[in-house]
Chain A
Amino acid sequence: MGTVAVQGLCKSFGKVQALDGVTLDVPDGSFFVVLGPSGAGKTTTLRAIAGLEKLDAGSVHLDGRDATGDTPAARDLAMVFQSYALYPRHTVYENIASPLRARRCSSSEIAAAVEQMSSLLHIERLLQRRPAQLSGGEMQRVALARALVRRPRAFLMDEPLTNLDLKLRVEMRTELTRIHRSLGATFVYVTNDQVEALSMADQVAVLKEGKVQQVGTPTEVYERPANQWVAGFVGSPPISLLACHAEGDRLVGAEGWTLPRPRWTTAEDGRALLLGLRAEDLSVEQRGSASLSGELYGLEPLGDRTVVDVRVGTQILKVKARPTVTGTPGERLLVTVDLDRAHLFDAGTGLSLSEAGR
């Protein structure tokens, strides 16, 4: 068992409201990612679950039992810190053994568990070193081993891959997913990296300024963002947002362009809207009925693809294109829009209007 449920978490640091009514439900055995920009309250949420933060309001339930007032030790959780927080005076062996020592395990049990963990994470040869003698990747593995050496209710991970270089980060992403699958344990994983969130998570909670914006599977969050902010935060290159309003069977842009009104939208005429277009739903190569006219603003070759920046009026559209695409800035071109995959948001509230009609 290992369910984590937090209800209405509120926490302020002086004048800063870090958490403003955060409610999350983490099912047993899931890889649950809390995603958000820095300062969104992700780490505070995790520390609240761990019992390291005194809450202004709200409750934490572990396995259905109210654990709001429990000490961190009593909660039976393990945590990987962003800074790793390895004890500097202790050897790697002692760092990994620490959770077992605290729980008064026998030294033979400890030796067996540490050995198993170190072989799982390939750190056997580091056991007698001290943290200062380790590289960043090695420290990360030791921190992970210290958490995994026990079988707690749930594992809490606070941006554990942020301090690694890109290659190692990609490797560890795969490895963490593998470990999660083999343990079948509950992971609550905090990150500001949407790639990590989308690639590893069963469920993603998107956090902004201490408020949950959306909870869903990675596909749901990407394909059906609940609001304009989530749409803009998740996805790379970021979604292009164009101001417009509906007029009969057409969408009329603030810049004067028109597009056929998507069948699924129920927005009344004249309401201020934002049309959200993801780069892969736009094309500069195909011809279609729905298209916008603009001029080439710039090319960003990324190897496997090229992002074409197209200026429509005063706004820049990001269009995903084949790496072979060429052009000179200033050149006129037509951008074909896949309106079935477009998103509409209320310009005032930012909420998605796409859900109703689909």
Chain B
Amino acid sequence: MAVSVDEAVSTGPARDHTPPARRLGGRGRSVLEVALLTVLAVVMLFPVLWMIETSIKENRDVYAIPAKFFDFKVTLDHYKDVFVAPDGGRSALSVSFLNSVVVAGASTVLATVLGVPAAWAYSRFAVKAKKDQLFFILSTRFMPPVVVVVPIFLMYRQVGLIDNKLGLILIYTAFNVPFTIWMMKGFVDEVPAEYEDAAMLDGYTRLQAFRRFTLPLLVPGIAATAVFALIFSWNEFVFATFLTSSDSVRTAPPAIAGLIGGTTTDWGLVAAASVVFALPVLVFAYLVRKHLIAGVTLGAVRR
């Protein structure tokens, strides 16, 4: 994403024309490089591996000292516990997963529906103090969410949005809209305004021109932007912790965190819940990996 305001507001997309830097030590990777990458990979992946291992170990193997890396009995009981309560009904965790889906999904849809037309407007129209407005929009993301959690809590208490899914949806939307506007503006800038000009001369209104000719070209950008918004809402922890309390409203991050503590902690259940929680984001990121890198490429305008 663009970093400076000037760059992002400029009319043309700034492209990087510098040639890729040549790799140290010629073609192959140097021993040092491989060593460093290996260390990095181990540091990054060990917790993930440990989480997956823990989720399929029996409880006594989880606490075994020395730790068992390979020599343990595989069980899927923890995964069953994630979804099914001890009494056979739905578990509180599975409800929280459902809440996460609803909250993250709704806030992403809302942010996209609000942000895409706004981005289009900022890209296409001469808006007064456009740069200042865009900077203001971006500035709402400058401070860490935890700074505003208390004021938000007090306001929400006044209007009855505490422990309410709608409250979470609104706050996540508020965080995602600026991001959506900024990212989508880049994509809209890439689509030549002439398509809309031509469509208007064909006899369409401005909105029809946008809907029929520009919007279809924005679909890859919208997909990429929506996934980022989804990931934010899915992973959000601070607001979810402060603004919700009951099991029926709580989203997955605070629900999983709530498993830790008390007299004993069922680490197998924590690990299994974490794996289940991590999967959707990984799958989405994988599905849109091309869009995350590539912008929209078009072929019909000679520049």
Contacts and interface: CB of A to CB of B under 8 A. Distances in A.
Interface stretch (B17-25, B60-68, B295-303): B295-303
A72 B301 contact: no
Interface stretch (A74-82, A238-246, A247-255, A309-317): A74-82
B244 to A, nearest CB: 43
Contact of B199 (A77, A98, A130): A98
Contact of A83 (B203, B216, B302): B302
A85 B298 CA distance: 11
Interface string A47-79: 100111010000000000000000111000111
B217 A85 contact: no
Contact of B197 (A52, A86, A89, A139): A52
A183 interface: no
B13 to A, nearest CB: 16
A225 interface: no
B300 A88 contact: yes
A102 B204 contact: yes
Interface in B172-222: 192, 194-195, 197-206, 208, 213, 216-217
B9 to A, nearest CB: 13
Interface in B72-108: none
Contact of B201 (A72, A83, A87, A88): A72
A79 B206 CA distance: 16
A88 B204 CA distance: 17
B201 A77 contact: yes
Classify the interface of chain B: helix, strand, loop or mixed: helix
B300 A139 contact: yes
B203 A81 contact: no
Interface in A154-170: 163
Interface residues of B, number: 24
Contact of B195 (A54, A78, A85, A103): A85
A130 B298 CA distance: 11
A51 B202 CA distance: 12
A75 B214 CA distance: 22
A102 B202 contact: yes
B201 A73 contact: yes
Contacts of A131: 299-300
Interface string A84-123: 1111110000000011011100000000000000000000
A77 to B, nearest CB: 6
Contacts of A139: 300, 302
Nearest to B197: A52
A83 B299 contact: no
Contacts of B195: 85, 87-88
Contacts of B205: 71, 73
Nearest to B206: A71
Interface residues of A, number: 31
Contact of A88 (B197, B206, B298): B298
B203 A89 contact: no
A87 B208 CA distance: 14
A79 B303 contact: no
A81 B198 contact: yes
Contacts of B197: 47, 50, 52, 72, 79, 81, 85
Interface string B270-303: 0000000000000000000000000000111111
Which of A72, A79, A132 has the most chain B CB atoms closer than 10 A to its own CB? Answer: A72
A71 B200 contact: yes
Interface string A38-54: 00000000010011101
A87 B217 CA distance: 10
A46 to B, nearest CB: 11
A78 B300 contact: no
Contacts of B302: 83-84, 136, 139, 163
A89 B216 contact: yes
A79 B201 contact: yes
Nearest to A90: B213
Given A85-B192, A85-B194, A87-B213, A50 B300 contact: no
Q: Which of A88, A130, A131 has the most CB of B within 10 A?
A: A88
Nearest to B204: A102
B189 to A, nearest CB: 15
B59 to A, nearest CB: 57
Contact of B200 (A72, A83, A163): A72
A87 B203 contact: no
Interchain residue pairs A-B with the least CB separation, the first 3: A132-B299, A102-B203, A131-B300
Interface of B: 126, 192, 194-195, 197-206, 208, 213, 216-217, 298-303
8 contacts: A54-B126, A77-B201, A79-B197, A83-B301, A87-B198, A89-B216, A102-B199, A102-B203
Given A50-B201, A71-B206, A81-B198, 14 more contacts: A50-B197, A51-B200, A52-B201, A54-B126, A78-B201, A81-B197, A87-B300, A88-B301, A98-B199, A102-B202, A102-B208, A131-B300, A132-B299, A146-B202
Interface of A: 47, 50-52, 54, 71-73, 77-79, 81, 83-89, 98-99, 101-103, 130-132, 136, 139, 146, 163
